[in-house]
Amino acid sequence: MVSRDERNAGEKIETKTPGNRRDFFNEIAGCALAIAGIGAAVVTVEYSSPNVLFEPPTTFRAGSLDDYPVDSVTFIQDQQVYIVRTEKGLWAMSAVCTHLGCITQWKPESNQIACPCHGSKFQRDGTVQAGPAPRPLPRFAARLAADGALVVDKLETVKETEILKV
Ligand code: FES
């Protein structure tokens, strides 16, 4: 025999179980909606913020002429640029190898610029002495500012024969 209390308790359990399951699924749905809402908010914020790539300026001041004695090749490491000065004048030249983009090195003992990656060699004027580099090292526009500083613009390439007469 089942007592009345036991029957009532059983009824409570029966009536309560579907409610718990419904609450559980409601909570799951609420969590899913909250996660979807947060995701949508993140995507919206990323979309509305400017997608800008900050790069260093292409124009830089390279000191004064006194920093570059006649018959010298000076490597400016942070700009990856050579400043070459001869008795005819001065020019700024990229130090990036025209083969696959390795950074070249000035070798004063052999009077040439050498690429450590695949062995290309360049003369101090940038012309290719030995491949596989397909092109000479490009020259950049160089000028003297009003205060006498040398200013190089890496965005503007000039002819391989262009020299800043100083
Ligand atoms: S990257 Fe300079 S020779 Fe290949």
For residue 99 and ligand 1, the question of a CB distance below 6 A is answered with: yes
Q: Which atom of ligand 1 is nearest to the CA of 116?
A: 2
Residues 89-118, mean pLDDT to the nearest whole number: 93
Q: Using an 8 Å Cβ cutoff, are 63 and 78 in contact?
A: no
pLDDT greater at residue 56 or residue 136:
136
Tell me the whole-structure pTM to 2 decimals: 0.66
Q: Which atom of ligand 1 is nearest to the CA of 133?
A: 3
Residues 45-65, mean pLDDT to the nearest whole number: 84
R_g of the chain computed on alpha carbons: 35
Q: Beta partners for 73?
A: 84
For residue 21 and ligand 1, the question of a CB distance below 6 A is answered with: no
Residue whose tokens read 């009077």: 111
